[in-house]
Amino acid sequence: MAVMTQTTRIWTAALIVVGDEILSGRTQDKNIAQIASWLGVQGIRLREVRVVPDDQDAIVEAVNALRARNDYLFTTGGIGPTHDDITVDAVAAALGVPVVVHPRARAILEAYYATRGGVNAARLRMARVPQGADLIENRVSGAPGIRIGNVYLMAGVPAITAQMLDGLTGQLEGGLPLLARTIGCWVAESEIADILREAEARFVGVQIGSYPFFREGRVGANFVIRSTDADVLAQCARALTEALDEIGREPVDGGI
Amino acid sequence: MAVMTQTTRIWTAALIVVGDEILSGRTQDKNIAQIASWLGVQGIRLREVRVVPDDQDAIVEAVNALRARNDYLFTTGGIGPTHDDITVDAVAAALGVPVVVHPRARAILEAYYATRGGVNAARLRMARVPQGADLIENRVSGAPGIRIGNVYLMAGVPAITAQMLDGLTGQLEGGLPLLARTIGCWVAESEIADILREAEARFVGVQIGSYPFFREGRVGANFVIRSTDADVLAQCARALTEALDEIGREPVDGGI
């Protein structure tokens, strides 16, 4: 029983996207999909995302709500050098610890800016961390990400966050990755809702999502089957494929 | 004073994106930016977004947290015909009302599907609404959106949500739109953090966001100035432009 509990434990994460630029519609967020995909590969499920403004109270509320009920909490944005970068202060406030200058972060910034005009007060802001934090390396821009407890502070610029995630790959304990298989079909999802429901009900631990689209003047849908068990996933995919074949709708393995 | 209160009231909205497909990283969300931009034009500020799974408890918690503290709450996703479409049931549960079939929604679906194979049980699911709800027209796919109280249920497919937003344009009471002006500069934001902070502090009600980028092998940043007052916005933009000119950095009006 102990083994079973161990293998079936689901590890979860939440993400807080800090940024007025997302809430104003000016910037299309790219970090949600990027972090979600990366977490999936680590065997960790992204359970909830909140996008909050550059406002300390809003960040503190979200940090405390989400860090307690998830194994991991990620944040993106607000760790740069300007006045609107307040994520470090907000996370420190949420955790009840002071903000300190991290000696290695300072050394990294001094080395990085040695040929780029030197460190100034604004740049030194990026060496500030909640007391007790570790750094997450960043090969792009010098300024590191930050880990404190189960909270991971990442950059707002997606390319920098990608580098930070790369540095974290394989470092986080997770469970079984959620496997997915997509079956596409030129059919209105409303025609085959019963088939989907029955396929999902028949296989324990399987979820099927139905994602309709309109292309080339026709309606279709992709059905995404998810399970942590490769055998069950294959069985469910076969059952759904056969059911679609039976009613004369050609299923497309891999999706349309 | 009454007039002043009226003109300075800030109207807020929150958005709940319902969807396992966003949390798995499979689908890149487009609705946050779309709804954020549309709300801005209506004079309503998007204050918070939550992305939650296709799980009734998670949706109920988010609906009740956000509808109470915002003038408007939007949801996207989960109003289609399949088993994983549970937003209507979750919103009804959050509001403590039963789910009923809306006669006009049923008539709309019957007309739409008359030439498309007819209405079946799955399609009729899309006529279900929380009791007391009104419909939001949708010229694309027949299935309408739903309004109940201050909660607006929109489609997950961005093109359908766009049509629903179009139908709502000018219907929602809002305040003064938040105006924005962007000034770009080939400068590391960390070099001019003091200039930004001083410009923001000098003009009441103005926020300045700083958004760095790396292009053509050079660092630069766009500074987005926001205010509801066009005169103050123009004054702040002029002050920031002059300050950048003074240190020999050519500001680019409109951004880079």
In chain A, which among 52-111 make CB contacts under 8 A with chain B? Answer: 52-54, 58, 80-84
Residue B178 has pLDDT above 90, yes or no: no
Contact state of A40 with B24 under an 8 Å Cβ cutoff: yes
CA distance B3 to chain A (A): 26
Structure confidence by residue, pLDDT tens digits, B47-97: 999 999 999 999 999 999 999 999 999 999 999 999 999 999 999 999 999
Looking at the complex, does the CB of residue A24 fall below 8 Å from at least one CB of chain B? Answer: yes
Q: Which 3 state secondary structure label does DSSP give B12?
A: strand
Q: Closest to B224 (Cβ–Cβ): which among A21, A28, A121?
A: A21
Q: Which of residues 203-242 of A touch B (CB under 8 A)?
A: 207-214, 224, 226
What pLDDT score was predicted for residue A37?
95
Tell me, yes or no, if A26 comes closer than 8 A to chain B by beta carbon: yes
Domains of chain B listed by start with CATH number? 2-168 (3.40.980.10), 179-253 (3.30.70.260)
Q: Exposure of B248 by Cβ count < 10 A (0-12 exposed, 13-18 middle, 19+ buried)?
A: exposed
Res A178: pLDDT: 87
Report the Cα B192 to chain-centroid distance in Å.
31
Residue in B24, B126, B211 nearest the CB of A36 = B24
A7 CB neighbour count, 10 Å cutoff: 10
Task: Say if B117 is an interface residue toward chain A (CB within 8 Å).
Answer: yes
Which residues in chain A have Cβ-Cβ distances shorter than 8 Å to B118? none
Q: With cut-offs at 50, 70 and 90, classify the pLDDT of residue B173.
A: very high
Per-residue DSSP letter, B84:
T
Which of A22, A51, A70, A181 to substitute to test the interface with B, most B CBs within 10 Å? A51
* A96 to chain B, closest Cα gap in Å: 24
Say what the ipTM of the complex is: 0.90
Query: A19 near A82, Cβ under 8 Å?
Result: no
The count of C-alpha atoms lying within 13 angstroms of the C-alpha of B135, restricted to the half-sphere facing its C-beta, is: 19
- Which chain A residues are closer than 8 Å to B200 by Cβ? 83
B82–chain A nearest CA distance, Å: 5
Q: List, for residues B222-253, the tens digit of each pLDDT value.
A: 999 999 999 999 999 999 999 999 999 999 99
Residue B3 has pLDDT above 60, yes or no: no
CA–CA dist B164, B110 (Å, integer): 19
The 10 Å Cβ neighbour count of residue A205 is 12
**Each residue of B120-129: pLDDT tens digit?**
999 999 999 9
Between chains, do A45 and B23 touch, taking CB under 8 Å as contact? Answer: yes
How far apart are alpha carbons A225 and A22 in whole angstroms?
31
Residues of A in Cβ contact (< 8 Å) with B187: none
Q: Is B107 left (phi over 0), alpha (psi -120 to 50) or beta?
A: alpha
- Over range B86-110, report the average pLDDT: 97
Within 8 A of B195 by CB-CB distance, chain A residues are none
pLDDT of residue B8: 73
Please state, in angstroms and rounded to a whole number, the distance separating the CA atoms of residues A211 and B13.
Answer: 27
- Determine whether the interchain pair B193/A33 forms a contact, defined as Cβ–Cβ distance below 8 Å: no
3-state class (DSSP) for residue A232: helix
Helix, strand, coil percentages in chain B from 3-state DSSP, rounded to 5: 40, 25, 35
Q: A133: which 2 tokens?
A: 């934090």
Q: Which of B26, B87, B198 to mutate to test the interface with A (most CBs of A within 10 A)?
A: B26
| Chain A CB contacts of B140 below 8 Å | 214
The answer to whether the beta carbons of residues B32 and B17 sit under 8 Å apart is yes
User: Mutate which of A23, A47, A115 to disrupt the B interface (most B C-beta within 10 Å)?
Assistant: A23
Q: Which amino acid is at A92?
A: A
Residue found by looking up tokens 């998810």 in the block: A226
For A81, which of B34, B82, B189 is closest by C-beta distance? B189
pLDDT band (50, 70, 90) for residue B13: very high
Residue A205 CA to residue A193 CA, distance in Å, equals 19
pLDDT given for residue B7 in this prediction: 53
For residue B106, report the phi and psi dihedrals to the nearest 5 degrees: -60, -45
Residues 6+ apart with CB under 8 A from A177: A40, A41, A42, A43, A228
Spans of chain A, pLDDT less than 50: 1-6
Give the tokens for residue A184.
């596409």
